[in-house]
Structure 1
Amino acid sequence: MLPRFPCPHGRRTIFLRKRRQMCDNAGMHAEAKNLQAALSPSPAESADRAGSTTSTTPAPSGSGANERVVRLLTVGNSFADDATFFLAKLARSAGGRLVMLGCNLGGHSFEQHAGYMAAYEKDAEDPAGTPYRDRIHPVTGATTHFSLRAGLEADAWDYVTVQQNSIQSFRPETYEPWATEVLAYIRKHAPQAEILVHETIAYREDSPLFAASDTFTQAAMYNRLRAGYAALAARNGLRVIPVATSYQTARATPEWTFTRDPAFDYDKPVYPALPDQSKSLNIGYKWDAPAPLSGGKPTFGHDPNHSNDFGKYLGACTFYEVLWRDDVRRCTFHPPTITAGQADHLREIAHQAVASRADVALSPATPAGVATA
């Protein structure tokens, strides 16, 4: 059975298993061995997990190529958490299985992840080099802190994804030199893995980022980040997971075109009322709970950046098509917050978006400067 670990932000489950036979345990970095041991299931834990969604039950008959287990490590931030939130259950509904570790830290950029790598290589005892912290063992309650190197060496990952933080995603000049450093580090410590570029999404139309300019719109943000990620992929011969393209494809349909609710009083909201956001892929307006024991009241908040369940599902559908190279329309899982009809539509959109970017999503790019036959 696979042990289950809540992510540091409590937002989703991380799946790990022992490294496959192809990995050389004798040569594995000591910290990676410790991480592996800390995350291995105890007999009691394995018994307790019998029949869970992480079990190694046979895939449904006729499931074809997607019977393959996919081992995924993400290097990013909450946008990677969002895009993979439903991925394990989505894959299992078509006979696949996901083994995943998220090296994701809120708001983090290429530069920050590269800085942690450098700190660890300079001094393995420096806490700055082990920022992926507080993975809690569900049985013992012990916590595990680890470096990116340990994460990369902890399993024989099939894929490792990378991304820029969203506020800099549309500024390709912020990627380097750190993106190149991160890619080289991944290739050194997980040479068997295919590196994929996670195309992160553009913010919702009512983001304050767009209100500050007459020319910088959601479409402009998308066009710039798409170009930045595509260029990064082309320079390094990588494929792209076009989550932002799926979003923009959806936003062009009547079902997912967000408009501000004219009947809602945004200046004087009354708890727990919220505006109509039924066509949004992002969280948007919400009521934030007061701090524990503060005695305060819920506050009216606005998050036009992160995905709601519709957006998380769409992101997972896009990841599925690229990772399994399979038609996501075959998948049947959808969370209870999404109707069957809505799920069908979102899967169709993801399928169309990946098909529209088949040159970068389904075929490896040719690195810049490399001649083709």
Structure 2
Amino acid sequence: MNLQNRPIRLPALFAAVVFLLLVFTGKIAVSQTGSPGNTENKKKGSPLHLFIIGNSFSGNAAKYLRELSEEGGHELTIGRAELGGCSLQRHWEIAEAAEANPDNPKGKAYNGKSLKMLLSEGKWDVVTLQQYSMLSGDVDSYRPYAKKLYDYIKKLQPSANIVFHQTWAYRADADGFGQVAQGVLAKSEKEMWEKSRAAYHTIARELGASLIPTGDAFWRISSDSKWGFQKDTGFDYSQPQAPNLPNQNHSLHMGYTWNNNKLGFDSHHANAAGCYLGSLVWYGFLFHESPVRLKFVPEGVADDFAAQLKKTAWTTVQTVGKSSVK
């Protein structure tokens, strides 16, 4: 066909000219990636409203949940009632104080607000609860506070799905582990995981609630011969020299860090990899969707380790029943 002699269709030409003018004037944004099927810009279903009642461990576990949700195309609203080291008993006592006297400052422990005030700020689809990690292996420490909080939340948010966040055990080289009975501490990371897992499952069964199995995912990594953390036995812990640190490859916990020329040790809280694993578990649980395809990885987490964390998170969520709450 002779293109020079091909007739020009004026409507199509006019539309093309208008489109170009809109592009040049900024009225239309053109993707620089050339991928019109980008799922990051697509929202899936209705927004999920999540309210977290917890402490620093819930802050760790949900640290990257927003980034993962945005990439996965899930709209997410998060409310929080978190206090460092806060147990179920303390959360309940705060709520009880506010019920007895709404003006009592003890009942407004969450930045000047009570739990009732925070829970009443919207309609929440999912509300999470967790025990203080030091008490997580002692099932008696959950009673009667878990049920009191469960009933209290149900009264304020009758349609909410209340779930328990199963926290994790401390790192294998910790100088102490959580309580498993009154006056009795776990002797190892494995025992702390086993006892806390049993306690969470017992309470969840009693209340007919589901579990976010973050603690199980941590243990799957920690106990893996290839991916689990191994203590660096060649490091001189008695006379450390700044800024040298022991090899902490594949650690999920903060571990050793230098601060003002002092070597600190935190075997409890999650580092970037641990926070990432926790957020991956929460993502899989909340949206009943594998996080394996997601590309977001926090700075400092190696690609091969990140890939293993994603697979482990989804396998763990699938292993524990009732993984979807939507």
TM-score category (smaller protein): 0.7 to 0.9
Deviation sequence 1:195-225 (CA, Å, 0-9, x none): 0110000110111115999972211111111
Contact 1:204-1:305 within 8 A present in 2 as well: yes
2:146 to 166, 172, 179: 179
In the other structure, the counterpart of 1:23 is: none
Which stretch of structure 1 is more off in the superposition, 237-246 or 330-339?
330-339
Measure the CA separation in 2 of the matches of 1:234 and 1:110: 17
User: Structure 1's 62 and 332: CA in aligned 2 closer, same or farther, altered over 3 A?
Assistant: closer
Q: Work out whether 1:230 is the aligned partner of 2:201.
A: yes
Deviation for aligned residue 1:129: 0.4
CA distance in 1, matches of 2:186, 2:114: 41
Deviates more, 1:327-336 or 1:112-121: 327-336
Q: Which of the two has higher C-alpha Rg? A: 2
Is 1:124 aligned with 2:120?
no
Quick one: percent identity of the two aligned structures?
31
In structure 2, distance between residues paired with 1:127 and 1:311? 34
Cα pair distance change 1:60/1:238, threshold 3 Å: farther
**Other-structure match for 1:344:** 307
Match for 2:255 among 258, 261, 284? 284
Contact 1:255 1:279 in 2 (8 A): no
Q: Is the 1:241–1:322 contact (alpha carbons within 8 Å) kept by the matching residues of 2?
A: yes
Structure 2 SS opposite 1:221? helix
**Contact 2:54–2:130 at 8 Å: present in 1 too?**
yes
| Displacement after TM superposition at 1:257 (Å) | 1.5
Match in the other structure for 1:149? 116
| Aligned CA-pair RMSD | 2.5
Paired residue secondary structure (1:256): coil
Q: Which runs of 5+ in 2 are unaligned?
A: 1-36
2:319 paired residue among 345, 353, 356 = 356
Equivalent residues of 1:196, 1:238 under 8 A apart: yes
| CA shift for structure 1 position 65 | 8.5
Aligned counterpart in structure 1 of residue 234 of structure 2, from 260, 263, 269: 263
When the two structures are superposed, what TM-score results if normalisation uses the length of structure 1?
A: 0.72
**Where in structure 1 are there 5+ consecutive unaligned residues?**
1-58, 134-144, 289-296, 365-373
- The TM-score, its normalising length taken from structure 2, stands at 0.82
Would you say how many aligned residue pairs link Structure 1 and Structure 2?
Answer: 287
State the alpha-carbon separation in 1 of the partners of residues 296 and 146 from structure 2: 34
Distance 1:132 1:238 in 2: 25
1:71–1:214 distance in 2 versus 1, CA, 3 Å? closer
Match of 2:132 among 165, 168, 172: 165
Distance of aligned partners of 1:110 and 1:99 in 2 relative to their CA distance in 1, 3 Å threshold: same
Question: C-alpha separation between the residues in 2 aligned to 1:329 and 1:68?
Answer: 22
Alpha-carbon distance between aligned partners in 2 of 1:156 and 1:322, rounded to the nearest angstrom: 20
Structure 1 runs (4+) greater than 3 angstroms displaced: 59-68, 210-215, 360-364
Pairing of 1:357-372 with structure 2 (within 5 A): 357=320, 359-362=321-324
Q: Which residue of 283, 287, 302 corresponds with 1:320?
A: 283
